[in-house]
Amino acid sequence: MKKIINSTEAIVNEMLEGIVKAHPEHIKRVEGFNVLTRVNSPIQGKVALISGGGSGHEPSHAGFVGKGMLDAAVAGEVFTSPTPDQVLEGIKAIGSDKGVLLVIKNYSGDVMNFEMAAEMAEMEGIKVDKVVVNDDVAVENSTYTTGRRGVAGTIFVHKIAGAAAEEGKSLEEVQKIAQKVVDNTRTMGMSLGACTVPAVGKPSFTLGEDEIEMGLGIHGEPGTHREKLSSADELTEYMLGKILEDMSIEKAEEVGVIVNGLGATPLMELYIVNKKLHSLLEEKEIKVNKTLIGNYMTSLEMPGFSISVIKLDEELKRLLNAEADTPALKEI
C-alpha cells in the first residue's frame, strides 16, 4: 500500500487540521471533535444545515461548508459513519433559533447515528428535521442500505437546500425543498478499479485489465454487473439511459447535471463524458441549465465517474444558481 500519510490512526484528525488551515475564511473546527463549521456559526435567523459521513469522499462534506450550502460537516473514520456524539456536537455548534436540517446519505450507519443525534438534540431543546438522500439508480437494498444508496446527487441537496436556508425560509420549508431535490435527482456510477482503505491496506476488490464495475457504490460496494471496458460515449449513453428510465423528464424541461470524478479520474476524461452527456440530452430536447464537473463525492483514489441528473422547476433552478461560497464550490 502506498499512501501519503503519517499513520492510519491520525488520518482524519490531520486531514481536518489541514482543511482548517487551508480555508480559515470559511471553516473552523469544534475543539475535540471531528466537526467543521462555518466561521460565523451559529447564525441566528437562518436554518442551519449539517451533513457528513465517513472520510474518504473529499471534498464531501467539509468542502461544502460555507455561505449558501452547509453550516457544518461531521467526519467519521474512513468509510465509517460518524458517531452520534460527534453529530450531536455538530448540531449544537450550529443550532439556531430556526432549527437544524440533517442531510443524510442513505447508508444504514449514517441514518442510525444521525437520527440518534437528532433525538438527543431535541431533548436539549434544538428543533431538528432531516432528509435522507437515495439518488442511486443502480441497486436496491445494497450491502450497507435498506433502499437505494445516497451518492453524488447529495451535492444538489446541499446546494439547493443551503440556498433556501440562506433566504431565511423556515425549517419546514427548507426540508420540503430538500425532499423535492431528492425526489427529482438520480445518479449512476462506474469504476475502472478499486480503492484502498488505509486501515485495510489492500484494494477492496479486483478487476481484470479490460474489465469495469457498473453501478458500484461510493465505498466500493458491488454494482449491477461487470463488463468489458467500452468507449466513453458508450458508457455515458448506458448510464444516462438508466437514469432517464427512472425519471420523468419531458421535452423542453430543464435539468442540472454533475459529472463527478471518484478520485483518480483526470478532468480530461470527465470533459469527454460531459460532451456526450450534453449531446444525448440535446437529442432528447432536454435543456441543461447547470453543469458541475470535477471531484465532488469521491472514493479515495478510485478511478471512475458518476453522472447525476436533477429535474428542475423554476424554484429549484433559482436556488441551484444562487450564490455559494465554500472551499469546493464558489459560484454566483
For residue 141, what pLDDT is reported? 73
Q: Are 273 and 232 in contact (CB under 8 A)?
A: yes
User: What pLDDT is stored for residue 90 in this prediction?
Assistant: 98
The more confident residue out of 260 and 330 is 260
The pLDDT tens digits of the residues spanning 259-298 come to 999 999 999 999 999 999 999 999 999 999 999 999 999 9
- Please check the confidence at residue 35 and state whether its pLDDT lies above 80: yes
57 belongs to the catalytic site: yes
- Choose, from 26, 61, 158, 219, the residue flagged as catalytic: 219
Q: Express each pLDDT in 145-204 by its tens digit.
A: 778 999 999 999 999 999 999 999 999 999 999 999 999 999 999 999 999 999 999 998
**332 confidence band (pLDDT: 50, 70, 90):** low
In this prediction, residue 139 has a pLDDT band, given cuts at 50, 70 and 90, of confident
Tell me the mean pLDDT in the region 302-307. 98
Total Cβ atoms within 10 A of residue 303: 20
Whole-number pLDDT of residue 27:
98
In the set 26, 57, 61, 158, the catalytic residue is 57
Domains in the chain: ranges and CATH:
8-183 (3.40.50.10440), 185-327 (3.30.1180.20)
Mean pLDDT estimate for the chain = 96
* Res. 234: pLDDT tops 90: yes
The torsion angles phi and psi of 141, rounded to 5 degrees, stand at: 55, 65
Q: What is the pLDDT of residues 59-104, one digit of tens each?
A: 999 999 999 999 999 999 999 999 999 999 999 999 999 999 999 9
Say if residues 145 and 107 touch (Cβ distance below 8 Å).
Answer: yes
